[in-house]
Amino acid sequence: MTDPSIADLSKDAAARAAVALVEPGMRLGLGTGSTAAVFVRRLAERVKAEGFSLRCAATSKATAEQATSLGLQVEELDEIGWLDLTIDGADEVDPDLNLIKGGGAAHLREKIVATASNRMVVIADQNKVVEQLGQFHLPVEVIPFGWQATRTLIQRALERLSLWPRPILLRKRGEEPLRTDEGNLILDLALEAIPDPEALAAELSAIAGVVEHGLFLNICQLAIIGRPDGSVVTLRREDKE
Ligand SMILES: O=C(CO)[C@H](O)[C@H](O)COP(=O)(O)O
């Protein structure tokens, strides 16, 4: 178990390095989660100190509220149209900069925002860096209508990929099923390892009740990994830079 204060220092280091990538006038995507929240706070400090303007699109209601409360200009993605840069956290980052996201149940909007950006940069602490995706439960956002049939179809997809039997867990908030910002449900796949993320992504995307899964493949170009001493390590996907 990582000391939370160590993780906080690492997140802050990554967030500060990401703030340095922001240029005045940019159209910026803001991620969701605790690391993204540190970034939003540091970004607001810089904008206040330097007095430049930005147009921001948020990936969740929570981030929109935080950014607005700190004085950042938040607009709907469709008002902005396209983004220069998105900065977001991740639950896992592999050596190819493929990601698992959705620990905060926001991966649908996060993927829409990231793929509507010229560049997506992930900020994270060292614990998020893995050799192979899958230890973190893979979130899959599903439509409430017929969600149990959708779960059966996900099970069959996992069987085809020899990833079965594994638990498929309906995410809850307290006693109730968690609802995403879009009013959908989250099924968390406890896979432990995902040897072929492309194949799993294709199977999941082909299921009618699946809105979006948390595999972010070939989307992130740069990961900034923060360390507790305030330094950062950057991981790049050269072909996307
Ligand atoms: O994907 C996400 C939300 O859907 C988050 O970016 C991810 O869960 C990381 O969160 P944190 O920075 O709190 O560890």
CATH number at residue 42: 3.40.50.1360
Q: Does the beta carbon of 34 lie inside 6 Å of ligand 1?
A: yes
34 is in an annotated binding site: yes
Regarding whether 18 and 105 lie in a shared domain, the answer is yes
Regarding whether 168 and 72 lie in a shared domain, the answer is no
133 belongs to a structural domain: no
Report if pTM > 0.90.
yes
Q: ∠ CA(82), CA(87), CA(91), 5° rounding?
A: 125
Query: Is residue 1 pLDDT above 80, yes or no?
Result: no
91 belongs to a structural domain: yes
Regarding whether 64 and 18 lie in a shared domain, the answer is yes
Regarding whether 201 and 144 lie in a shared domain, the answer is yes
Query: H helices of 133-224, where?
Result: 147-160, 197-205
Regarding whether 92 and 46 lie in a shared domain, the answer is yes
Q: Does the beta carbon of 89 lie inside 6 Å of ligand 1?
A: yes
174 is in an annotated binding site: no
Beta-bridge partners for 233: 225
CA-nearest residue for atom 6, ligand 1, is: 89
Query: Is residue 3 pLDDT above 60, yes or no?
Result: no
Q: Residues 98-128: pLDDT tens digits?
A: 999 999 999 999 999 999 999 999 999 999 9
CA distance 58 to 39: 12
Regarding whether 227 and 111 lie in a shared domain, the answer is yes
Count of domains in the chain?
2
CA-nearest residue for atom 9, ligand 1, is: 90
241 belongs to a structural domain: no
159 belongs to a structural domain: yes
CB neighbourhood size of 152 (10 A): 14
Question: Which range of residues forms the domain containing residue 191?
Answer: 138-211
pLDDT above 90 covers what percent of the chain? 94
Q: What is the average pLDDT value for the chain, to the nearest integer?
A: 96
223 belongs to a structural domain: yes
Interface predicted TM-score (ipTM) over 0.85: yes
Q: Among 236, 32, 33, which Cα is nearest to 121's?
A: 236
Average pLDDT over residues 184-199: 98
Q: Does the beta carbon of 128 lie inside 6 Å of ligand 1?
A: no
Would you please indicate which residues are annotated as catalytic (active-site) residues?
A: 110
Q: Does the beta carbon of 104 lie inside 6 Å of ligand 1?
A: yes
Regarding whether 86 and 9 lie in a shared domain, the answer is yes
Regarding whether 223 and 178 lie in a shared domain, the answer is no
Q: Which of 91, 122, 123 most suits a substitution to test ligand 1, by most atoms within 8 Å of the C-beta? A: 91
Domain of residue 185, CATH code: 3.30.70.260
Regarding whether 74 and 143 lie in a shared domain, the answer is no
16 Cβ contact list (under 8 Å, min separation 6): 42
10 is in an annotated binding site: no
